[in-house]
Amino acid sequence: LSYGSSSPALSNRQRFPTFFRTHPSATLHNPTRVQLFKKWGWTKIATIQQTTEVFTSTLDDLDQRVKEAGLEITFRQSFFSDPAAPVRNLKRQDARIIVGLFYETEARKVFCEVYKEKLYGKKYVWFLIGWYADNWFRIKDPAINCTEAEMAEAVEGHVTTEIVMLNPENTRSISNMTSQEFIEKLQKRLGKNPEETGGFQEAPLAYDAIWALALALNKTSAELVKKGLRLEDFNYNNKNITDEIYRALNSSAFEGVSGHVVFDASGSRMAWTLIEQLQGGVYKKIGYYDSTKDNLSWYNNDKWIGGAPPADYTKVITTFRFLSQKLFISVSVLASLGILLAIICLAFNIYNGHVRYIQNSQPYLNNMTAVGCTLALAAVFPLGLDGYHIGPGLFPFVCQARLWLLGLGFSLAYGSMFTKIWWVHTVFTKKEDKKEKRKTLEPWKLYATVGLLVGLDVVTLIIWQIVDPLHRTIEVGGGPSLTTHGRVSPLPGIFYGFKGLLLLLGIFLAYETKSVSTEKINDHRAVGMAIYNVAVLCLITAPVTMILSSQQDAAFAFASLAVVFSSYITLVVLFVPKMRRLITRGEWQSEQQDTMKTGSSTNNNEEEKSRLLEKENREL
């Protein structure tokens, strides 16, 4: 009969046929643990154990019980003396609910590694053995290199299960003492600091073991008298007396200072389990569990760092990330107003196409700019469409619409401005003899240049659409539904690279011609200013949008607002000054009258006069 043995191996009746103990088996913790797992909704458990027979057999029993309860131990680690690698493995396997089985000294080593790996906090719950000293994590240990504060931080919130060794109820035992009276007498006998005396916690179990043996011998004596035998006749070869003592102990049932004393079929004590939680560095009782009656007494005072019991694994909830509707509507309104502005500018330019000031700005190129801005602004709408608005079947068309509208809009709007600035640079940076030969402006060449840029885009986009069409890709754990291509292809690089070169070249040409003055294209300075703004916006927005591709709102905002502001700036810089001049000076009336009187000769005279003035300026 033992009062301090807890190894599950001692429950083996084939190896230990007449062994009894008032200290419950270590496996008695397991029904309590399973009950707590179910209470808090956990199904995936991880374990780490010191490699000894008592912990291995306890863990084998736990494995069997969790399977019977429909739970599972997903990850199991063990160590002899150094727990560093097993703790790292727990972290790597995303263990959240962890049962630790080890002695007190090894517990300090484990939790020093737990602190280093940050395997604690609101996402983790540790289950430990409850018979450690209350200040076990504060004890200085040369085997670890963690401070007391670090250890206290790592162990905060863990749960312990401990066999009830002292009856929590104030009832009188068979010795006519309550559990509290027993402790008071024991403390008086031991003197100062009784808790430091070895075996102090197990003293009620030892006391009840003596009572269990006394009651069993008393009962055996009465039975032996009926058979004409006495206890004094006992020896280790007398099987009859041995069997009587065994039957008497096996049927024992009485109230002791440790609680109700009763043995199971394997001779192990059946007892309550105390459940405690470390709260603010102090162990608090949060409940009891009676495995014989499957009764959980709960105090409802458990506390969690995150406010609630954590999940037992990282839950991946698949959900689509849609674009903010407020952002989409806001940008769409701006784009719609921009399209309206472009239509007004286009109508103004067509209506006043006969005015000399408008004619000298190459109105057809400006018309192309307005149309290009309209297409680019229209691209904002498909750019913001995602799975919230359209089904999967429409995504290929939306992807292509984005690309075609932006590509053609850029080529028309920027291409027409680039053509103007290119012609001015070509004419006014040549030598005098060649410059005079090229002074005559041939509009069809300008239109052909824009047509060439648009044609290159059309050919590239057609080939791209045939060879490597854009399609929808759903990124798991990343961004929203993305438009992408299936394999590595040079076409995107060629397409966007060519646009980038045009932007850089446009900046260079605008800078080179900033001081040039000509009436052939009287708005080339405004064109240069528009090119500066468009190029800078595009060159900044492109890399930023790629970096923010996983953040759908930010990426859409940067891309769409760059298109909107580029279009607004282009339209305002090119057309508003013309509107203002014609309105304030009334030039459309005077120009119309002059044209009716002098006809085409006026243009020729003005051109000749302009040449003479430029020549005089050079000579001066």
End-to-end CA distance of the chain: 125
Domain boundaries, the chain: 1-165+270-315, 170-257, 325-585, 591-620
CB 345 within 8 A of CB 526: no
- Encode burial over 262-274: b for 16+ CB neighbours within 10 A, e otherwise: ebeebbbbbbbbb
> Which range among 77-91, 228-242, 339-353 has the greatest average pLDDT?
77-91
CB 417 within 8 A of CB 369: yes
Q: How far apart are CA 195 and CA 327, in angstroms?
A: 67
Question: Does 489 or 116 have the greater pLDDT score?
Answer: 116
Kindly state the tokens that stand for 341: 């502005």
Q: Distance of alpha carbon 87 from its chain centroid, rounded?
A: 23
Mean pLDDT check: name the lowest of 20-34, 250-264, 295-309, 467-481: 467-481
> Which range among 12-26, 414-428, 478-492 has the greatest average pLDDT?
12-26
> What number of other Cβ atoms are within 10 A of residue 90's Cβ?
24
> What number of other Cβ atoms are within 10 A of residue 477's Cβ?
7
Coil, strand or helix at 432: helix
Q: Return the HEC string of 94-156.
A: CCCEEEEECCHHHHHHHHHHHHHHCCCCCCCEEEEECCCCCCCCCCCCCCCCCCHHHHHHHHC
Amino acid at site 425: H
> Residue with structure tokens 């040549």?
430
CB 161 within 8 A of CB 29: yes
Average pLDDT over every residue of 316-325: 75
Q: How far apart are CA 32 and CA 127, in angstroms?
A: 11
Q: How far apart are CA 472 and CA 483, in angstroms?
A: 5
Q: How far apart are CA 436 and CA 577, in angstroms?
A: 30
Percent of the chain whose predicted confidence (pLDDT) is above 90: 38
Same CATH fold assignment for domains 1-165+270-315 and 170-257: yes
pLDDT digits (tens, 9 = 90+) for 466-517: 777 766 666 655 444 444 444 445 666 677 777 778 778 878 877 777 766 6
pLDDT band at 450 (very low <50, low <70, confident <90, very high): confident
Mean pLDDT over all residues of the chain?
A: 83
Average pLDDT over every residue of 360-373: 84
Could you give the angle at which helices 443-467 and 395-428 cross, rounded to 10 degrees? 150
Task: State the fold for domain 170-257.
Answer: Rossmann fold (3.40.50)
> Residue with structure tokens 């003492």?
177
Coil, strand or helix at 439: coil
pLDDT at 474: 63
Q: How far apart are CA 478 and CA 549, in angstroms?
A: 9
Kindly state the tokens that stand for 376: 């680019």
Angle at 420 between CA 414 and CA 421, to 5 degrees: 90
Helix (H) or strand (E) holding 541: helix 524-547
pLDDT digits (tens, 9 = 90+) for 36-51: 999 999 999 999 999 9
pLDDT digits (tens, 9 = 90+) for 160-186: 999 888 888 888 999 999 999 999 999
Percent of the chain whose predicted confidence (pLDDT) is above 70: 85
Question: Does 511 or 158 have the greater pLDDT score?
Answer: 158
Q: How far apart are CA 181 and CA 554, in angstroms?
A: 71
Kindly state the tokens that stand for 252: 């024992």
Kindly state the tokens that stand for 249: 């102990």
Q: Above 70 in pLDDT, residue 69?
A: yes
Q: How far apart are CA 349 and CA 193, in angstroms?
A: 101
pLDDT at 593: 44
pLDDT digits (tens, 9 = 90+) for 597-613: 444 444 455 555 666 66
Mean pLDDT check: name the lowest of 24-33, 337-346, 389-398: 389-398
CATH architecture of the region 325-585:
Up-down Bundle (1.20)
Q: What is the DSSP string of 314-364?
A: --------PPPHHHHHHHHHHHHHHHHHHHHHHHHHHHTTTSHHHHTT-HH
pLDDT band at 227 (very low <50, low <70, confident <90, very high): confident
pLDDT band at 217 (very low <50, low <70, confident <90, very high): very high
Mean pLDDT check: name the lowest of 108-122, 335-349, 364-378, 409-423: 409-423
Q: How far apart are CA 473 and CA 465, in angstroms?
A: 16
Coil, strand or helix at 463: helix
Kindly state the tokens that stand for 441: 């402006």
- Classify the phi-psi angles of 569: left when phi > 0, otherwise alpha if psi is within -120 to 50, otherwise beta: alpha
Pairing type for strands 295-298 and 282-290 reads antiparallel
> Residue with structure tokens 């990850």?
75
Average pLDDT over every residue of 410-431: 77
For the chain, what is the total number of helices (H) and then of strands (E)?
20, 12
Q: Distance of alpha carbon 121 from its chain centroid, rounded?
A: 17
Alpha helices for 429-551 (secondary structure H): 432-437, 443-467, 490-512, 524-547
- Encode burial over 107-125: b for 16+ CB neighbours within 10 A, e otherwise: bbbbbbbbbbbebbeeebb
Average pLDDT over every residue of 226-231: 87
pLDDT at 490: 65
Looking at the domain covering 1-165+270-315, what would its CATH class be?
A: alpha beta
